[in-house]
Amino acid sequence: MDVYLHPGAQFLVDETLVSLQSKGQQQELELHYYDDTRQMVGKSEAMRRVFGRLPKLAIKDSPNLLTGETGTGKSSLARIVHEQSPRKDRPFVVVNCGALSPTLIESQLFGHEKGAFTGAEEPHRGF
């Protein structure tokens, strides 16, 4: 969305009134958008859509799957959702599924009892 402001225009930013004054030249400002917790910043239309969805994800009592390339901020987004959710007082656990053995991923995520399979010598709660 493009916004054009003329000299003398006023607008509120939180509780601060901003007034524009002209220095005789037109200037384009680069806008950045933040999630509600102000932990992440972005300026693309896609990031604005993501930031708008985070509070809605947080209030739902259902699993969320975040996918993307390494380093795109999946863990950061998950933490933001957790911090805005009714579960915010419970532990937040990050699991790198790529580091788990494919044969043991189910027992690592969901837990197992002692003796459930060869090598299960202790019960495990799961992540």
Residue 57 located in a structural domain: yes
CA distance 45 to 105: 36
If asked whether residues 58 and 102 sit together in one domain, one would say no
Taking only the tens place, the pLDDT of each residue in 56-107 is 888 888 877 788 888 888 888 888 888 888 988 998 888 777 888 888 888 8
Helix, strand and coil content of the chain, in percent to the nearest 5, comes to 25, 10, 60
Banded pLDDT at 2 (limits 50, 70, 90): low
Banded pLDDT at 1 (limits 50, 70, 90): low
Interval 51-55 mean pLDDT: 83
Number of domains in the chain: 2
If asked whether residues 22 and 83 sit together in one domain, one would say yes
Residue 21 located in a structural domain: yes
If asked whether residues 52 and 111 sit together in one domain, one would say no
* Region of poorest pLDDT, from 50-54, 79-83, 118-122: 50-54
Residue 66 located in a structural domain: yes
If asked whether residues 50 and 75 sit together in one domain, one would say yes
If asked whether residues 102 and 127 sit together in one domain, one would say yes
The pLDDT assigned to 107 comes to 86
If asked whether residues 30 and 67 sit together in one domain, one would say yes
Q: In 3D, which of 96, 66, 89, 90 has the Cα closest to residue 78?
A: 66
- 96 with 104: CB under 8 angstroms? no
If asked whether residues 89 and 118 sit together in one domain, one would say no
Give the number of other Cβ atoms within 10 Å of residue 25's Cβ. 5
